């Protein structure tokens, strides 16, 4: 086993939420932006989209930075049963409002994938070993009144969050309950799964 501190570790993300989560395991990593289009493919299931993008992000950064171990992650949400209609990052207040209206009183599945690409040996990027894990967290939303939605958006400004909420902040007040195997998955980086993947590469955590 090799210590995590001795690995040139890269997080293929500029998300402050994922950076804060990974910092729970180690302070020794870099954040680099992947150059990956995030549009879904025609008729692509939301869970498949999350898996594909986590791999594409990690592979893209590993290709440009051989000698590293790269972590890629992605999260896609959908109202339960709407397998081809992802709830992405709203970007605007109007879209955030529409997303929360759609989630009101509904079950929403958050599909979070994490992929680790091992580029330590260098060589052909197509031959880099990779390992991937997926988590599905189901959030049961309260019935949300229009005034509550407006107050929440104004206070939290969740425009860069899939589903238009931050569970680590005031968004937790929007829920009836959460069904999850990994509470960090809902924030964007499933640390239990990530530790498992790193151990697969014989990287010791902690």
pLDDT score recorded for residue 85:
81
Would the CA dihedral through 54, 198, 5, 206 be positive or negative?
positive
Judged against a pLDDT cut of 80, whether residue 168 lies above it is answered with no
Q: Return the number of other C-beta atoms located less than 10 Å from residue 119's C-beta.
A: 25
Categorise residue 11: left if φ over 0, alpha if ψ from -120 to 50, beta otherwise.
Answer: beta
Task: Give the angle 62-65-71 at the CA atoms, nearest 5°.
Answer: 40
With cut-offs at 50, 70 and 90, classify the pLDDT of residue 81: confident
Contact between 110 and 70 (Cβ < 8 Å): no
Is the pLDDT higher at 130 or at 88? 130
Q: Cis (ω within 30 of 0) for the bond into 206?
A: yes
pLDDT score recorded for residue 169:
78
pLDDT in tens, 24-67: 999 999 999 999 999 999 999 999 999 999 999 999 999 999 99
Judged against a pLDDT cut of 80, whether residue 109 lies above it is answered with yes
With cut-offs at 50, 70 and 90, classify the pLDDT of residue 100: very high
Judged against a pLDDT cut of 90, whether residue 199 lies above it is answered with yes
Active-site annotation holds for 182: no
Candidate from 33-37, 157-161, 192-196 with smallest mean pLDDT: 157-161
- pTM tops 0.85, yes or no: yes
pLDDT score recorded for residue 134:
96
Q: Return the number of other C-beta atoms located less than 10 Å from residue 125's C-beta.
A: 14
Of the residues 74, 109, 135, 182, only one is catalytic, namely 74
SS3 1: coil
Share of the chain above pLDDT 90, in %: 81
Is the pLDDT higher at 99 or at 169? 99
All domains of the chain, ordered by start, with CATH?
2-204 (3.90.950.10)
What is the spatial distance between Cα 30 and Cα 22, in angstroms, rounded to a whole number? 10
User: For all residues of the chain together, what is the average pLDDT?
Assistant: 93
pLDDT score recorded for residue 57:
98
Question: Looking up tokens 């992802």, which residue turns up?
Answer: 86
| Helix H or strand E segment including 96 | helix 93-103
Spell out the residues 6+ positions from residue 172 whose beta carbon is closer than 8 angstroms to its own: none
């Amino acid at each position: 086993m090799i210590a995590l501190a001795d690995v040139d570790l890269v997080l293929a993300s500029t998300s402050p939420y994922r950076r804060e989560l990974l910092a729970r395991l180690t302070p020794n990593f870099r954040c680099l932006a992947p150059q990956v289009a995030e549009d879904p493919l025609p008729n692509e299931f939301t869970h498949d989209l999350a898996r594909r993008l986590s791999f594409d992000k990690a592979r893209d950064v590993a290709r440009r930075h051989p000698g590293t171990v790269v972590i890629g992650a992605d999260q896609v949400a959908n109202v339960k049963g709407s397998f081809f209609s992802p709830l992405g990052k709203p970007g605007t207040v109007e879209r955030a409002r529409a997303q929360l209206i759609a989630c009101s009183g509904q079950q929403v599945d958050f599909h979070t994938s994490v992929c680790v690409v091992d580029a330590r040996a260098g060589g052909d990027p197509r031959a880099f070993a990779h390992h991937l894990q997926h988590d599905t967290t189901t959030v049961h939303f309260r019935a949300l009144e229009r005034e509550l939605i407006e107050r929440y958006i104004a206070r939290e400004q969740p425009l860069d969050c899939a589903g238009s909420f931050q569970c680590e902040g005031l968004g937790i007040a929007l829920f009836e309950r959460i069904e999850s195997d990994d509470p960090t998955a809902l924030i964007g980086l499933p640390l239990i799964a990530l530790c498992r993947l790193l151990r697969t590469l014989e990287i010791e955590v902690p």
